[in-house]
Amino acid sequence: GAGVSQSPSNKVTEKGKDVELRCDPISGHTALYWYRQSLGQGLEFLIYFQGNSAPDKSGLPSDRFSAERTGGSVSTLTIQRTQQEDSAVYLCASRGGGEYAGYTFGSGTRLTVV
Amino acid sequence: GENVEQHPSTLSVQEGDSAVIKCTYSDSASNYFPWYKQELGKGPQLIIDIRSNVGEKKDQRIAVTLNKTAKHFSLHITETQPEDSAVYFCAAGAGGFKTIFGAGTRLFVKA
């Protein structure tokens, strides 16, 4: 597609429920990233996929968070047993064009845990 | 790992004035320094970037400078306009593979 697409744009869930957030990167982009942005805060790195390599999961805050990328394209970020502190905007970005290409971000999914 | 600090957190300028945002990084291996602009309700958008083999880069009203020795880099916006109002993020990484972002600067341009 023309840009990075994320769905849903907004998600309200009850504490303790599981949620899945989806990211459709730009076609052909081999690198895909997930970041978390709490209200008024910066961008917290979560996980990074590069081609067929094992993902860099070093930013995942707990084992309740996981992500997968199927077929080198679509990615799903899953948060199990959501907590109120998980409330944030979850941003996905993809990158292509070589190691010095910038990221293209989606508009994010605003997650609210009540 | 890399740590990026960004200042100021908030900046207010009059339309037509210049705005400067400064960042420092910790990892001497970092060689790629992008800047992103985030408008309300949107994802960050790349506005300019610089590699470590270049000291300065300019694109119309926007310029970035890099001092590798001091490990700091800056964004300069001249002749600011109301539409420049947004949150700006600096970032640093090694070849862009895993970019670490600063905390952001909220820029207000008063008409």
Q: Which residue of A42, A100, A105 is in closest CB contact with B104?
A: A42
Residue A7 pLDDT > 90, yes or no?
yes
3-state secondary structure of A14: coil
Nearest to B46 among A41, A48, A102 (CB): A102
Tokens for B3, please give them: 């740590």
- A/B interface, count of CB pairs below 8 Å: 59
pLDDT of residue A2: 77
Query: What pLDDT, on a 0 to 100 scale, did the predictor assign at position A72?
Result: 78
The answer to whether residue B98 scores a pLDDT higher than 90 is no
User: Which of A68, A32, A28, A106 shows the shortest CA–CA distance to B97?
Assistant: A32
Degrees (nearest 5) of the Cα angle B103, B63, A97?
A: 75
Q: What is the dihedral of CA A67, A72, A75, A79, to 10 degrees?
A: -10
CA dist., res. B12 & res. B84, Å (int): 11
pLDDT at B95 exceeding the cut of 70:
no
Q: Cβ–Cβ contacts within 10 Å for residue A74, how many?
A: 14
pLDDT above 90: residue A21: yes
For A41-56, what is the mean pLDDT?
90
Average pLDDT over residues A68-74: 89
Average pLDDT, chain A: 93
Instruction: Compute the distance between CA of residue B4 and CA of residue B24 in angstroms, rounded to an integer.
Output: 6
Contact at CB, B49 and A106, closer than 8 angstroms: no
Q: What is the pLDDT of residues B34-93, one digit of tens each?
A: 999 999 989 999 999 998 888 999 999 999 999 999 999 999 999 999 999 999 999 998
| List of residues 6+ apart from A89 with CB closer than 8 A | A36, A37, A38, A108, A109, A110, A111
Residue in chain B lying closest to A110 (CA): B41
| A78: pLDDT strictly greater than 70 | yes
Residue of B nearest to A45 (CA): B100
